[in-house]
Structure 1
Amino acid sequence: MTKTLIIAEKPSVALDISRALGGMHREGDYFENDQYVLSSSVGHLLTLTNPDDVVRGKWSFNHLPAIPAKAFDLKPSDKKATDRLKMLVRLLKRKDVSAVINACDAGREGELIFRYIIQYAGVNKPIKRLWLQSMTRNAIIEAFDNLRDDSVMKPLEAAARSRAEADWLIGINGTRAMTAFNSKDGGFFKTPIGRVQTPTLAIVFEREEKIRQFKSRDYWEVHATFVAAGGLYEGKWFDPAFKKDEHDPEKKDNRLWSAASAQSVVVACRHKDGTVTEESKPSTSMSPGLFDLTSLQREANSRFGFTAKTTLALAQSLYERHKALTYPRTDSRYLPEDYQGTVRQTFEAIVGAESLLARRNAPFAKKILQNSWIKPNKRIFDNKKISDHFAIIPTLQVPKELSEAEAKIYDLVTKRFMAVFFPPAEFRVTTRITVVASHHFKTEGKVLIKPGWLEIYGRDNQESDATLVPVAENETVKTEDIVAKELATRPPARYTEATLLSAMEGAGKLVDDDELREAMSERGLGTPATRATIIEGLLNEQYLRREGRELIPTAKARQLMTLLVGLNVRELTSPELTGEWEHKLKQMEQGQLDRAAFMREIAQSTQIIVKRAKEYEQDTVPGDYATLTTPCPACGGVVKENYRRYACTKCDFSITKHPGGRTFEIPEVEELLQNKTLGPLNGFISKMGRPFSAILRITAENKLEFDFGQSDDDNSEPLDVSQLTPVGHCPKCTGNVYDTGMSYVCENSVSEKKTCDFKSGRVILQQEISHEQMGKLLSQGKTDLLDGFVSNRTNRKFKAYLAMSKAGKIEFEFEPRPAKTAKAASKSAAKTASKTAAKSAATKAEADSGKAVKKAVKKTARKTASKTATKKTAVKKAAAKKVASKTATARKQTAKTADPDDTEPAF
């Protein structure tokens, strides 16, 4: 009997499918029954191979452009992917496997993951597509009943491959060309660019330039307090004849641009009588639409300060692990037109659930059901507004236990889901105009009449935002008080993740071409699933930095924008390129565009980008460069910035802008020139591609050099610590410990006799150890939990304490984990294995015979399951004990091993 192999995108999805299908037994990393073999990828197992000429060091124009002559080669994404690939290839090549079902995530990326695995395996077997929108059992079974033919998916495959290959061509060639250009004078200055990454950076950079160039202007507002028969109210002066000025958006109807003008209004109206007219009209406010991923990320950032990456991870957990939300990586805010029944069932599930979170929302869900508010509505149900996935909504599976962060996201989605079915909020908006001595003053009030959907968010009473005292029509009032307030215009606000996500989503507005703008109106820059990664990538590449919630472009970003404009590669800074790609990829998905023609155009664009960088022959790149305020340390002259260096205008003093591949910020250069020393600083990259920290110094010969701290050489000069302040006492000899720049050292280790050897790095794995923390380590034996360590091997951040051993060695100590976790996991796994084995045996028995046979088999199954569970429990306990032993060792790892992934000295 032949079988069908099902390949999911993640192990958790494969597990859900196995439970939905039933009767499957587990064989390591795959499941199997008489009909199916089921396994999964672990995300992207394969990636496009990079050119062979680059491993480390300087990237050269000699091998550019890199454009594969034939098909793109694939390679495993990492070492962990290799074992999973071997297993999948073995399953694909099994003789009893006659067909394959693609159960990866519905969309371009899921299609690409599956197609790469098939290509890598080199098999040619019939394929069907499982299109999952939700991970509930009913949704999975329904999807299996409606498998899609492979021929229908070929256009999506073409678009997925084309997107990946085009990104590779532009990203690889662009990054290496710009890096080669920036590294002409020596060193290695990595300059990453990307089709979506670079236009996104340009949006933030342009806003920062507007802020930098902004010049504040003073203006005045006139505020008055009036006395009516019913009481006091306030009004603000305005010009009823005002017209908007397109060339000066700062002009508004309530602003006066001179103190004299404002004062003349005050004088004219002080203690004068005025007349009142009033207009009051009803107003309604509809609830916001359902969430797509980008709007959810924006809301979570605004409300809770969650980064886009964090929100995506939480939503993915609620989808995969808890089955509580539908597929989160969606760009649609609508539901299918035939989804009204499911919506009704979802509200019934919320009403019937027992969890605290559900009980809070149950009254609103019950109200929706009782009032029959679920009905056809294009604002909610619209097939034309759905491409791959529909909006994010709760599923029928209401979660019982969530983490605090997961609960916040779930509640956010649930409340929005309920709100769209509630009636609009109703207000009465009142505009009152008071005229005094021919001058007009406006007073506005807004009274909530019916809360509608606002009831869900706590606005269940009739509240007023600005309740006005009553006045009669044309009542005469008196000016009780009037004052001119001096104010100043403000620059535009910096981007936060929430506002940048909005800008990326609406990037089509920046595109002039109508057709491209329409294409981008649906997707914008990037996709909902990739925008968080793009922002994190810009932060990791040090193009952006976070200050609070604000995103600020760095000097490295300014350098890149200057280069791309100077080389006339403006298409990489504009959303136009993405708009054009999205337009053509959409045509390809619909079978209206040939993939080969699209890729030829991408190859041509790649050639042009490399050619412009390679053939640029001017000494510098034109740009808006800074003039420093600190004088030249050599001659006192003026130091100016150019594209590559900071150079004196009077003498030959100059320093590079990118020592060790790290770009100076202007304030850092000013400090370096002033003090002739700077640091310690992180972010330098060695010739071998490893990060390091150092102090920068300007020598007596006015040359820039790295200072890595006091030499360990026995012949080095003793260090004079007479002018230094101790940070604590040495754990080895009780001598004073001093900060010497790059290290904390015992005074007896740098004395002439060198009777002690205590020394610790001031910067450890890119985490700076402050005087306060070193003081705690020396006096209390342990620092606070520090979260800025970065592994040398994996480049991942991790948290740890620094602890002092009895021998005076500094060790890493990690946050404690409950010792029972491994044991609990073993019990849970054994219990699951027991149930699965029993269920599998019972199901098979029922298919083979009648009721009596089924009972007998169930009894046998229970015995077998019990033996299996006992055996697995023993194995798992042994494994857990081994892991616990290794974990204990790792948690007391000495600082000389850097972090759990490293074996190189860190101090």
Structure 2
Amino acid sequence: MKQLILAEKPSVARDLSKVLNANQKHKNYFEGDKVIVTWALGHLLSLKMPEDLKPEWKTWQMDTLPMIPKYIGIKPLPKTRGQLKTIGQLAKRKDISEAVIATDAGREGELVARWILEYVKFDKPVKRLWISSQTNKAIKEGFSKLKPAKEYDNLYQSALARSKADWLVGLNVTRALTVKYEDNLSAGRVQTPTLALVRQQEKKIEKFRPQNYFVISLDVAGQTAKLNQKNPYGITEREDAEKLVKKMSQQKGQVTSITEKEKTEPAPLPYDLTEIQREANSRYQYSAKKTLSLVQSLYEVHKIVTYPRTDSKYLTQDMKATMKERLQAISDFSPEVKTYIKNGGKVIQNKVFQDSKVTDHHALIPTEQRPRYEKLSNDEQRIYTMIVERFLGLFAEAHKESQQKVTVAFGEETFTFRQNKVLVAGWKKSEADKPAISWQKDQRIQPNFTVEKALTSPPKPLSEGTLLANMEKHSLGTPATRAEIIEKLIKSELMERTNNGLQVSPKGKQLLELVNPALVTPELTEKWERQLEAIANGKFSSQSFIKEIEKDTASLVNEVKQSTKKYQDFSITTKKCPVCGSSLREKNTRDGKIYICTNPECDYRRRKDPKVSNHRCPQCHRKMEIIDGKNGAYFRCKYDGTTEKMLDKKARSKKMTKHEERRLLNKVNQEAEPQESALAQALKAAMEKD
């Protein structure tokens, strides 16, 4: 008898099959003597859509809202039906004794597998593989410790409840807003409060008014300190600053106090997903989605880091025994690693080992597999370096420094000088200490003041890093879904990426005015996320949660119905449709911006800006634009105005490729080589006879 093992991706299935000796390769699965390894492709199924449940829900109209079905059910995704069919056939094989869920060890991974097993009506025992790294060692250990899938029922119920809540709130509120205001307005229980966080920061920036102020500084032996004030922006006139300086300059200052303390700073704990996304955005301007993709590649493809979608910065006690082996895998990373190995891989920061603070997965750390740096891309190398440096901090001494604080008084006004001396560099890279001043109590100080004009700075727009921090603070989404939420807001044209940070679009600003106040603030969503977590921990009923969501959904839809607010579609331009005369709407697509007709019965559309082709200008050799003319499309160079006829598909396919062109030229050149003359041939023949 054989186990049917269900992985989440083909690449993971390939790794599992190698370890489990499933060497017979088929189109959609691997087979061995004891196992069959197959895969999902992410989700193969989704919740049914409204039109699948009731005919009257097919049409978007206010009368049918709210849509609250007694049972939603699942349906196959059209593009992956073939893989689902294969799993169904494998599940019915008589030599299959049990299934093993080997999808991602998290809430979404659980949902992926459970829906598939439910759909194919799998009625045999089911076990769960729960691993945090994809190394051969971790896979073997995981299969030796398989647990009954029932132990993860609460996690599945939490995932299912999350999915149903998004269906109920998202589809109902989106339909209500779209029908009422006659434009595609997307709302959701997580994406809307996330958008509101970005807008909240924008409002602070809009309210900001720059203000001039003056800074008074005292210079002593090359060190500078600013005047201590309750309000650092309090001096707004130069005259006032000069008066104060004049008053203080009439006397010498005096050192009134010298205090010293020793500060110990341990290294930061390893990363969780959200923190590495934030830091990669700050250092390298990577989007949250890009960072997740890079860490996922390090985990799945290179197998050199542990499971990325974690919300914990801690490790379990039983991992202490693996520390030395992990260090040996990165022994050539930096010189200090060999020292840590000699010390037996002893962790200095023992507070990292806390079982109670590890949820589904422990912190993001290197695996025991030696990295092959030549196979890493530059971006992967950067992320891997960040993960390893944080991990090495666990073995390093704490950073210690002596901090001296000196107060200098000129009458009632004081200045505070600070100077630090590194005692133990520890995990921080040692920096040269600045030249120190030897301060003495009651020391007299010469007045040496400067007055500088300054301007108050506005708050900065939220970057993806700071937005992720805010989402984490308000429990909006999970580490696994936050990147996806940001991308969804951008794709639905509610939010935009700019050089300065994230920005809410005019459409997004209006949505926040039109949507229910309860969805704008994070409190309601925060409450829902806490309840979902409680369901996963077996402390709250998923049925009670869904009943509450249904009640909230009805209330939210009712609010939209009764609203008297107005909506202006900023995407409608002043340009007119050449076919029916209606206004044209500007729309973002993968290919750039296009104009489409606002008349639902008219299908006119055109690009806003000409499409840039790979066809080169014969004059300047730059890429030419494709222009839609009255007699069809043609190429035009925007730099020198050169135009060229655009061949149809048949003619383009007949056009000679560069390879064919080169081969023909070689042939022509060979044929064009000068032939031997008749006299030369006769002489050659005569010489051969001799």
Q: Is the 8 A contact 1:447 1:467 kept in 2?
A: no
Q: Is the 8 A contact 2:349 2:394 kept in 1?
A: no
The corresponding residue for 1:483 is 450
**Deviation of residue 535 (structure 1)?**
0.8
Distance of 1:54 and 1:215 partners within structure 2? 55
**Deviation of residue 34 (structure 1)?**
2.2
- How many residue pairs get aligned? The number is 628
Distance of 1:216 and 1:297 partners within structure 2? 32
> Deviation per CA, 1:384-425, whole angstroms, max 9, x where unpaired?
011111111111112212111111111110011001221111
The corresponding residue for 2:417 is 443
* AA at the equivalent of 1:492: P
Structure 1 unaligned spans of 5+? 184-188, 243-250, 352-358, 508-523, 622-642, 646-655, 661-668, 673-678, 698-705, 711-729, 751-755, 762-772, 780-803, 812-884, 893-907
CA gap 1:376/1:582 in 2 versus in 1, 3 angstroms: farther
Q: Which range moves more in the overlay, 82-91 or 377-386?
A: 377-386
Q: Which range moves more in the overlay, 365-374 or 389-398?
A: 365-374
Distance of 1:61 and 1:690 partners within structure 2? 34
CA gap 1:211/1:101 in 2 versus in 1, 3 angstroms: same
Counterpart pick for 1:416 among 390, 395, 405: 390
> Deviation per CA, 1:814-842, whole angstroms, max 9, x where unpaired?
xxxxxxxxxxxxxxxxxxxxxxxxxxxxx
**Deviation of residue 549 (structure 1)?**
4.7
**Deviation of residue 23 (structure 1)?**
5.2
The corresponding residue for 2:687 is none
CA gap 1:270/1:97 in 2 versus in 1, 3 angstroms: same
Q: Which range moves more in the overlay, 122-131 or 273-282?
A: 273-282
**Corresponding residue SS for 2:108:** helix
Distance of 1:100 and 1:709 partners within structure 2? 51
Distance of 1:380 and 1:15 partners within structure 2? 33
Q: Is the 8 A contact 1:271 1:478 kept in 2?
A: no
Distance of 2:75 and 2:68 partners within structure 1? 17
**Deviation of residue 467 (structure 1)?**
3.7
**Deviation of residue 758 (structure 1)?**
6.5
The corresponding residue for 2:402 is 428
The answer to whether the aligner puts 1:167 opposite 2:166 as a matched pair is yes
Q: Report matched runs for 1:742-781 at 5 Å.
A: 759=634, 774-775=638-639
Q: Report matched runs for 1:263-342 at 5 Å.
A: 263-270=242-249, 272-276=251-255, 277-342=257-322
> Deviation per CA, 1:751-807, whole angstroms, max 9, x where unpaired?
xxxxx876469xxxxxxxxxxx7327x66xxxxxxxxxxxxxxxxxxxxxxxx9x75
**Deviation of residue 33 (structure 1)?**
1.9
Counterpart pick for 1:470 among 411, 432, 438: 438
Structure 2 unaligned spans of 5+? 577-582, 599-603, 609-615, 661-690
Counterpart pick for 1:223 among 211, 217, 227: 217
**Deviation of residue 658 (structure 1)?**
4.4
* AA at the equivalent of 2:587: G
* AA at the equivalent of 1:506: K
Root-mean-square deviation (Å)? 3.5
**Deviation of residue 137 (structure 1)?**
1.1
CA gap 1:549/1:407 in 2 versus in 1, 3 angstroms: farther
The corresponding residue for 2:76 is 76
CA gap 1:381/1:810 in 2 versus in 1, 3 angstroms: farther
> Deviation per CA, 1:542-587, whole angstroms, max 9, x where unpaired?
11111115001111111011112xxxx2221122222222222222
Distance of 1:591 and 1:582 partners within structure 2? 14
Distance of 1:450 and 1:330 partners within structure 2? 32
Q: Is the 8 A contact 2:587 2:596 kept in 1?
A: no
Q: Is the 8 A contact 2:594 2:607 kept in 1?
A: no
CA gap 1:690/1:166 in 2 versus in 1, 3 angstroms: farther
The answer to whether the aligner puts 1:31 opposite 2:25 as a matched pair is no
The answer to whether the aligner puts 1:614 opposite 2:478 as a matched pair is no
The answer to whether the aligner puts 1:605 opposite 2:585 as a matched pair is no
* AA at the equivalent of 2:268: P
**Deviation of residue 102 (structure 1)?**
0.7
**Deviation of residue 77 (structure 1)?**
2.8
**Deviation of residue 169 (structure 1)?**
0.8
Distance of 1:66 and 1:707 partners within structure 2? 33
The answer to whether the aligner puts 1:59 opposite 2:50 as a matched pair is no
Q: Is the 8 A contact 1:217 1:489 kept in 2?
A: yes
Distance of 2:85 and 2:306 partners within structure 1? 32
CA gap 1:588/1:437 in 2 versus in 1, 3 angstroms: closer
Distance of 1:153 and 1:233 partners within structure 2? 61
Q: Report matched runs for 1:110-509 at 5 Å.
A: 110-183=109-182, 189-226=183-220, 231-239=221-229, 242=230, 251-252=231-232, 255-270=234-249, 272-276=251-255, 277-351=257-331, 359-361=332-334, 363-372=335-344, 374-375=346-347, 377-400=349-372, 401-454=375-428, 459-460=429-430, 462-464=431-433, 466-480=434-448, 482-507=449-474
* AA at the equivalent of 1:453: W
CA gap 1:200/1:684 in 2 versus in 1, 3 angstroms: closer
* AA at the equivalent of 1:350: I
* AA at the equivalent of 1:463: A
Distance of 1:438 and 1:39 partners within structure 2? 78
Q: Is the 8 A contact 1:497 1:549 kept in 2?
A: no
The corresponding residue for 2:526 is 579
* AA at the equivalent of 1:493: K
Distance of 2:605 and 2:541 partners within structure 1? 57
* AA at the equivalent of 1:602: I
* AA at the equivalent of 1:391: A
Q: Is the 8 A contact 1:265 1:439 kept in 2?
A: no
Distance of 1:572 and 1:757 partners within structure 2? 49
Distance of 1:313 and 1:452 partners within structure 2? 32
> Deviation per CA, 1:621-663, whole angstroms, max 9, x where unpaired?
2xxxxxxxxxxxxxxxxxxxxx334xxxxxxxxxx54428xxx
> Deviation per CA, 1:656-694, whole angstroms, max 9, x where unpaired?
54428xxxxxxxx9x99xxxxxx9984169xxx999624
The corresponding residue for 2:480 is 529
The answer to whether the aligner puts 1:596 opposite 2:581 as a matched pair is no
Distance of 1:191 and 1:109 partners within structure 2? 26
Counterpart pick for 1:644 among 545, 563, 567: 567
Q: Which of 1 and 2 has higher RCO (CA within 8 Å, sep 6+)?
A: 2
Q: Is the 8 A contact 2:10 2:38 kept in 1?
A: yes
**Deviation of residue 154 (structure 1)?**
1.5
The corresponding residue for 2:572 is 659
The answer to whether the aligner puts 1:540 opposite 2:491 as a matched pair is yes
* AA at the equivalent of 2:131: L
Q: Is the 8 A contact 1:588 1:594 kept in 2?
A: yes
The corresponding residue for 2:92 is 93
**Deviation of residue 58 (structure 1)?**
7.9
The answer to whether the aligner puts 1:683 opposite 2:587 as a matched pair is yes
Q: Is the 8 A contact 1:175 1:191 kept in 2?
A: yes
> Deviation per CA, 1:238-278, whole angstroms, max 9, x where unpaired?
14xx4xxxxxxxx34x7434444322221113374222243
Distance of 1:375 and 1:657 partners within structure 2? 58
CA gap 1:431/1:368 in 2 versus in 1, 3 angstroms: same
Distance of 1:695 and 1:446 partners within structure 2? 64
Q: Which range moves more in the overlay, 153-162 or 482-491?
A: 482-491
* AA at the equivalent of 1:487: A
Distance of 1:169 and 1:560 partners within structure 2? 19
Q: Is the 8 A contact 1:291 1:392 kept in 2?
A: yes
Distance of 1:731 and 1:303 partners within structure 2? 39
* AA at the equivalent of 1:597: S
Distance of 2:593 and 2:240 partners within structure 1? 60
**Corresponding residue SS for 1:495:** coil
